[in-house]
Structure 1
Amino acid sequence: MVDYEKSPSVVSSSIEKDVRVKDVQEEDSPYNRGGLLDPVKEETLHRGLSARQISMIALGGAVGTGLIIGSGTALVRGGPLGVLLGYTFVGMVCYMVMVSLGEMAAYLPHKKGFAGYATRFVDPAFGFALGWNYLMKYLIVTPNNINAAGVVIQYWTRHVHIAVWMVIFIAFIFFINLLGVRVFGELEFWFSSIKVITLVGLLIMGIVIDLGGNPKHDRIGFRYWNPPDGPMGHYLKDQVHGESLSIFLGFWSTLVNALFAYIGTELIGVTVGEAQAPRKNIPIAIRRTFFRILVFYIGGVFVIGLVVPSTDQTLFTANKAKAGAAASPFVVATTLVGIKVLNHIINAAILLFVLSAANSDLYIGSRTLYALAVEGNAPKIFTKVNRMGVPYPALILCTAFCGLVFLNVSSSSAKVFTWFVNLVSTFGAITWICICYSHM
């Protein structure tokens, strides 16, 4: 017999041999359904995203128009306390989903997206359905963000047709994605950095306004949490029986708005395939998600509830308008206290927000289609990549779907397009459920 205590080299070689045998067996094993191991090819995705870029991309995907615009609708329906409770509850759910995803991504980092985990841990059919569900979300949400960017531009000028701006924005995000993951990651890093600075500035602005640092020198405090506004909103009050039911419906509706705002946080799971040292960097990015949720989302809606009354008629009008600076509760807050300079600044910030979101959405959509093709759940042509590691056939197809944005050129088609927007929340919720189920 071999004395392993006196022969560590023998132990080392034995372990290495066992690992190699295990890897080969795992490739051929039925438990590796769909093949989780990265394809050993020269032409594949490049691991070009650094830790700081992954962290910022995760933040950029999570923070967008759903917070800076959609929170106004939630405030009207749920009231300041209702929107705070709603965003807090969905934020807890979001963090648990991210922890589940982070554990799988750190354990088995690969380039096949969520569908790879669903295929391995549940069933190939489950992975197939999840992959296409997630792809459909990004085929729809990308043109939605481009449309929002065109509407924001119209805040300044209507002399140029909105379709012209749409073409410019589509070409812009396409060429950024075509330049490779390093260029995309660096540009998205700076986009998201500006997002963070803007959001921090808006939060500070809201606190200063609330404490009396405004042109009217009016210390607001918790005034809007008291009657007649009240801490809770009343949704569909004229259509339901009982005040308690209308308050409950108001709170319930804030959960839907919060879900739409949080969806996109999970896109960090798709960046695993192009992340440097994913076992180290992905958990770091996941842990930071908690503080982003606490500061930007929960802190953001709390400040909005302090400085904007939920019964303000301007806010009602803003909720019915298309996405633009006028629809943001932060702009409503500046208007109420007589600040006139910040409208254009916030509008420019919103433009940057939606362009950054569209850029990230196109990236995630193309990588999701590539992952489906690698698993054999999509045509093989979408596995092709160029020398910079860009899956260009998948990128071209996802860009082609941006043509859906031209549905909003006519007002009649705009109503049809809003159905697509509502589907985004549904696709996102299904994705979260599937991630948790795969983890279990």
Structure 2
Amino acid sequence: MGFIVYLVMCGLGEMATWLPRSSGFTGYAVRFCDPALGFALGYTYWFKYIIVTPNQLTAGSLVIQYWISGDRVNPGVWITVFLVLIICINYFGVGFFGEFEFWLSSFKVVVILGLILLSFILMLGGGPDGDRKGFRYWKDPGAFNWYIEDSSAGRFYAFWATLVSATFAYLGTELVGVTVGEAQNPRRTIPRAIKLTFYRILVFYVLSVLLVGTLVPYNSQDLEDANSQDTSSAASPFVLAISLAGIPVLPHILNACILLFVFSAANSDLYIATRTIYGLAKEGKAPKILTTTDRRGVPYVALILCASIACIAYMACASGSKTVFSYFVQLTTIFGLLSWISLLVTHICFVKAREAQQIPKSELAYTAPFGVYGSYFALFWCIVVAFTKSFDVFTGGKFDHKTFITSYLGIPLYLILIFGYKFATKCKRVLPHEADLYTGKDKIDREEAAYLAYKEAKRAAQGKSQNQANWFYRTFISWLF
């Protein structure tokens, strides 16, 4: 899944560096592929973020139940506290929003790197228990568990269930496509961000999961007990690995960090949801009232709408936080996959348009390393995952209609948006030789030239030691953050 995400990012990077647009990737779909696809992509992306916001609020209530059970304090109390805080930050604190998120994201990176280092030390027997685990659990009970049934098919089910679950973890990586229009010198910064995505996936995702897999066996009774509880986040394998190693207090500190990260995610998700529907309204694809802003430019009507929808998190009070969380994960995953599918189709159309208009690769600031074939490969697997992501509702002899609905609701909704828009507007798909690849590009070229001249003048005015310090930071530190 990490490789598929990387291919999605490569395709997005090729379009974003050619024409950095404030409308993000919905604008690319409209200009290079089909206005109906741009409409569907815009709303699909908005659906994803209005669902992932209550998902994070529910997750926050789950994390707090590590200390205070839902029987003592209703999860709705914590959901209310989080919701009020993120609404206040999005309305009153939008001025320091970027700074707040930058430092919080930097803190996340430090914590993740600390977890990776700690996991490596515990694996080598550096914990209080002195147990040198190595890859012991890969032999007994084994690296792979079975799922649904204990057979070869069951081991494949386990693998596939894990793969589609990993999709949820990678959602949001494509967010660079939304911010590209606001980046300084995007033709340098975006390719750098895309290239570093590959290393971030390897380090932050793959390496951390590899290490925690050596510390917690899949048949751990503690893991089973924690996972079977409807109101506990003790099933975090990192928290469990630290507990099993006999380290006191640290599990509580780590859980507090997780709570902070969940709050940060809910905060930024509400921001993106608000700006996405505001952008659709500005393009005339949503009610005009959603374009209303206050004197500071905050789209408060759009914020009220998105915050109101986030109140579906209160379902956790009736159905249990863990159950509702899983429903939100299913919905978010399908909307995220549909967004990736739309992006990949748009990149394929962009490449066809570029070739039809005889624009050589040498004119591109960034070229996807796997080209259009990488997008075809990723598109195929995204479609396969979208249709098979909840295969387990059809197995085991019992049909789970609730999971089926939340897992696949996005697909008919996506098709209704595309064909409904085509029917209402009579729009036609964009032919490769007619695609608009140049409108607005001259302005961006001038801005880029002016920015580069300014940076060169600034570099010349600075001393040699300061330039060396900047080079050291850019080369060895900044990529992490």
Both proteins in one fold, TM over 0.5: yes
Aligned residue-pair number: 346
Q: Deviations over 1:295-324 (max 9, x none)?
A: 010011110111111221222233334575
1:233 matched to 2:141? The reply is: no
Q: Deviations over 1:306-354 (max 9, x none)?
A: 1111221222233334575412101211222222221111110110111
2:55 aligned residue: 144
Q: 1:248 aligns with which of 147, 156, 161?
A: 156
Matches within 5 A, 1:20-419: 90-158=1-69, 160-179=73-92, 182-226=95-139, 228-238=140-150, 243-322=151-230, 325-411=233-319, 415=323, 418-419=326-327
1:323 and 1:329 mapped to 2: Cα distance?
16
1:277 and 1:146 mapped to 2: Cα distance?
35
1:383 and 1:103 mapped to 2: Cα distance?
30
Structure 1 residues 150-159 or 123-132, which shifts more? 150-159
TM-score (norm 1): 0.74
The 8 Å contact of residues 180 and 388 in structure 1, kept in 2 or not, is answered as no
Give 5+ residue unaligned stretches, structure 2.
349-481
2:187 and 2:96 mapped to 1: Cα distance?
23
Structure 1 residues 387-396 or 336-345, which shifts more? 387-396
**Residue 255 of structure 1: CA displacement?**
0.8
- Taking only the aligned residue pairs, the percentage that are identical comes to 53
- Equivalent residue of 1:234, what SS? coil
Name the amino acid aligned to 2:41: L
**Residue 180 of structure 1: CA displacement?**
6.1
1:168 and 1:276 mapped to 2: Cα distance?
36
TM-score (norm 2): 0.68
The 8 Å contact of residues 59 and 325 in structure 2, kept in 1 or not, is answered as no
The 8 Å contact of residues 237 and 246 in structure 1, kept in 2 or not, is answered as yes
The 8 Å contact of residues 216 and 337 in structure 1, kept in 2 or not, is answered as yes
Structure 1 runs of 4+ aligned residues shifted over 6 Å read none
Give 5+ residue unaligned stretches, structure 1.
1-89
2:435 aligned residue: none
The 8 Å contact of residues 407 and 417 in structure 1, kept in 2 or not, is answered as no
Name the amino acid aligned to 1:217: G
Name the amino acid aligned to 2:247: I
1:67 aligned residue: none
Structure 1 residues 208-217 or 315-324, which shifts more? 315-324
1:423 aligned residue: 331
- Equivalent residue of 2:234, what SS? helix
Name the amino acid aligned to 1:156: W
**Residue 182 of structure 1: CA displacement?**
4.3
The 8 Å contact of residues 224 and 309 in structure 1, kept in 2 or not, is answered as yes
Q: Deviations over 1:96-139 (max 9, x none)?
A: 11121122222222222332111111111111111111111111
**Residue 276 of structure 1: CA displacement?**
3.5
1:111 and 1:174 mapped to 2: Cα distance?
24
Name the amino acid aligned to 1:335: S
